[in-house]
Amino acid sequence: MDDAATAEESVRVWLVERTYGDDEQNMIILTYAAPDGRREFRKERALTSFTGDHRETPVSMVVDPDDLGSVDDDRRERYVTEVERMREKHAPMDSL
């Protein structure tokens, strides 16, 4: 497969959720979703300190479709709404 085909297959996902990890208190899970709300990408980030972690978080990312997981029906509509909100407020390369 050539690079052009790979680029065409990439999917832009948008930040829809930030949660703390269940097992570790210093872990944040960033959830990004495709615009249709059917697929998600999760990224774990360790907090560098408890007084604040000031690293920027990208509002969207381009990922390989093989790295996406399926989304349960009960979360799809919420993810679609959140993607739309993020797209209205931010450019794809923005960070929070």
pLDDT at 24: 63
CA 22/CA 76 separation, integer angstroms: 22
- Whether the pTM exceeds 0.95: the reply is no
Using one digit for the tens of pLDDT, what is the confidence trace for 67-84? 999 999 999 999 999 999
Using the predicted structure, report yes or no on whether residue 4 has a pLDDT greater than 70: no
- Tally of helices (H runs) and strands (E runs) in the chain: 2, 5
CA 96/CA 77 separation, integer angstroms: 23
Using one digit for the tens of pLDDT, what is the confidence trace for 14-55? 999 999 877 766 788 999 999 999 999 999 988 766 555 577
pLDDT at 20: 84
Q: What are phi and psi of 82, to 5 degrees?
A: -70, -40
